[in-house]
Amino acid sequence: MAAAEIAGTLHLRKTGANCWRGPCPICGGKSRFQIREGRNGPLIWCWGSCKPADLLADLRRRGLLPQPERRELTPAERRAAGERRRRDARDLEAARNFRAATDLLIDELLETLPVSDLSRGPLTAMRAAMRTDAGLLAEYRDWQEREPELTAALVAAGRNRGARLEMMLRHYLLGGAQNAA
């Protein structure tokens, strides 16, 4: 169904070319819900706190959007998906230990670097990337490929949380500073 048809069904008002606004079908907020025509179908948004996935589900439940097509996976695809899940589960524990150590290391580096130092950007970007499990796994695997020894050391340090971890990282930082001088 086109955005114009959905907008008519939901009694939204036209606010521009191919754009309508009105009450959100989920939260009911006035003029929070927006729908516009996109290249591949309607684009929806709630300026309140509703998640796009929830909005799509509600519009599908009302019959305003088609249900997503689902196809059966082939045995090879099921095997590959199972292998990915097992690999992710296996790597996730090590990745969480990696994050524990890198978070402490990043904190220490950010405290010592001047605010104007451009090397702060990649540190904060790395921390942001590791907020979700998927981002954490991607960052961990990237480091594992580029710096296997350092990654293994960070994983080991992450396993030894607390005072010992802090001591190890401070030693690493001081050792790195002395080696660079």
Dist CA 129 CA 55 (whole Å): 26
Strand partners, 35: 20, 44
> pLDDT, tens digit, for every residue of 131-164?
999 999 999 999 999 999 989 988 988 887 655 6
pLDDT at position 83 is 95
Convert the pLDDT of each residue in 92-120 to its tens digit. Answer: 999 999 999 899 888 888 888 888 888 88
| Predicted confidence band of residue 181 (pLDDT cuts 50, 70, 90) | very low
pLDDT greater than 60 at residue 85: yes
Sorting pLDDT into bands at 50, 70 and 90, what band is 180? very low
The tokens describing 41, both together, are 């179908």
- Whole-model pTM? 0.52
